[in-house]
Structure 1
Amino acid sequence: MFKKQDRRQDNHVNAGSMADIAFLLLIFFLVTTTILVDTGIQARLPVWVENMPPKNIPERNVLKIKINAQNELFVENGRAEPTQLRSRAKDFIMNPGALPTRPGSPRKAVISLQHDRGTSYQAYLEVYNELIGAYQELWEEEAQRRYQLSYEGLPVSRQQLIRAAIPLVISEAEPVDLMAGE
């Protein structure tokens, strides 16, 4: 009348299927995970030349910018705010008033950037970005003046002409120990 229940068999998990599932999960996470890439300042460095004598650049052609350990910005030995830097750099490079204390041509303009060893990377990047932004605005203005087109919309050959007229020259001096009031 009553049937004896069969004892349950031990269930075996197929290890091959588990390996397949693990592999699929691994692929899923590799495909969907965003891996952060370290980024930094992209700059093309000049070719290293042994025993190259230093160039004598007239003082009027050099805009001196310093950042001290307290992240204070100094332009031509006067304190300045990073928000002022872009317009001051543009005025220096282009010299719209033809001042004798500034470069006679944008080709002769050099921006000298020096920072303290204690300067924060964020402060350095803020200043560097303002300087690059100044050049980008000048290139855009020149493209509009010459071709009535956006700089980015120009063919590479015309972009090179503009960059030759207004070359990006930022000289970065070796970090030093600047004093707070310098």
Structure 2
Amino acid sequence: MAGLLDKRRSKREDAETPTSSMADIAFLLLIFFLVTTTINVDTGIGMTLPPQLEQEEPPPVQERNLLRVLVNASGEVLIDDNMSSVNQIREEVKTHVLNYGENADYSDSPSDAVISLKTDAQTPYRIYIDVLDEIQMAYREIYNSIARSGNLPSGESVLDETYESYEAYRESLEPEDDDLVRESFPRNISIAEPDSGN
């Protein structure tokens, strides 16, 4: 009997795993992942640029209507040549824009106020974004107060009703409606070419 079992065991072939289709499966998985994977592309800063001026020289701006924000190569912030910080920019912009001619160091009116942002070619990108965000947030806070009250800071009525925020006002607009808040209170931001460092 022992001899019979030994013969059966010796005739039996060892089990093998078929590997010929493994390459096909790996190839199909590779194609699947290539097709279904989305690659995030940095889109940059979403800004609408104004149309190109027909004249070569930009219109003159009175000195008092211009608030200069300079960020040097080491990320230090200067507002009208005075050392400052990123955290102070928002209040300084609001003071400049909402001056209405009261203080001779700030703008005549919101429509005349211009915020000029200039950087160095070596300015850290993160600082540049933070500074630009603070300037835009100053205007956003002004727009929120206009939407909540329905009036400009000067007291002139702009909206027929009040809203919880500027965002709520924007959501209530139809595609063909004009943004009365932005039209009545323009955002004048000038981004100057960075110094090349030469």
In structure 1, C-alpha distance between the alignment counterparts of 2:34 and 2:79, rounded to whole Å: 49
Aligned position for 1:88: 92
1:33-182 matches, cutoff 5 A: 35-95=39-99, 98-146=102-150, 147-154=162-169, 155-156=172-173, 160-176=179-195
Contact 1:151 1:159 in 2 (8 A): no
2-structure distance, mates of 1:70, 1:129: 19
SS at match of 1:108: coil
Residues 50-84 of structure 1, C-alpha deviation per residue, up to 9 Å, x if partnerless? 54332011112111111112211110111111101
From 2, 23, 28, the equivalent of 1:23 is 28
Aligned-residue CA RMSD (Å): 2.8
- CA drift of 1:126 comes to 1.3
Q: Structure 1 counterpart of 2:24, which letter?
A: A
The TM-score, its normalising length taken from structure 1, stands at 0.81
Secondary structure at 2:142's aligned position in 1? helix
Q: Percent same amino acid among aligned pairs? A: 33
Which sections of structure 1, spanning at least 5 residues, go unmatched?
none
Contact 1:66 1:74 in 2 (8 A): yes
Residue type matched to 1:160 in 2? D
CA deviation after TM superposition for structure 1 residue 25, in Å: 6.3
String of CA shifts for 1:144-179, please: whole Å, max 9, x gaps.
11014311111236771111122222111111267x
3-state secondary structure, aligned to 1:85: helix
One of 9, 13, 16 as aligned partner of 1:8:
13
Return the offset for 1:30. Answer: 6.3
Is the CA contact 1:106–1:165 (under 8 Å) kept in the aligned structure 2? no
Question: Per-residue displacement from partner, 1:82-137 (whole Å, max 9, x unpaired)?
Answer: 10111111111111673244223212211001111221111111111111111111
Using the TM superposition, name which of 9-18 and 164-173 deviates more.
9-18
Structure 1 counterpart SS, 2:132: helix
Structure number with greater Rg is: 2
Using the size of structure 2 for normalisation, the TM-score is 0.75
Aligned equivalents of 1:159 and 1:49: distance in 2? 24
Q: Offset at 1:47? A: 1.8
Q: Which whole-Å CA distance do the structure 2 matches of 1:177 and 1:23 have between them?
A: 50
Question: 16-25 or 142-151, which moves further after superposition?
Answer: 16-25
List structure 1 runs of 4+ shifted beyond 6 angstroms: none
Q: Provide the C-alpha distance between the structure 2 equivalents of 1:24 and 1:66, rounded to a whole number of angstroms.
A: 52
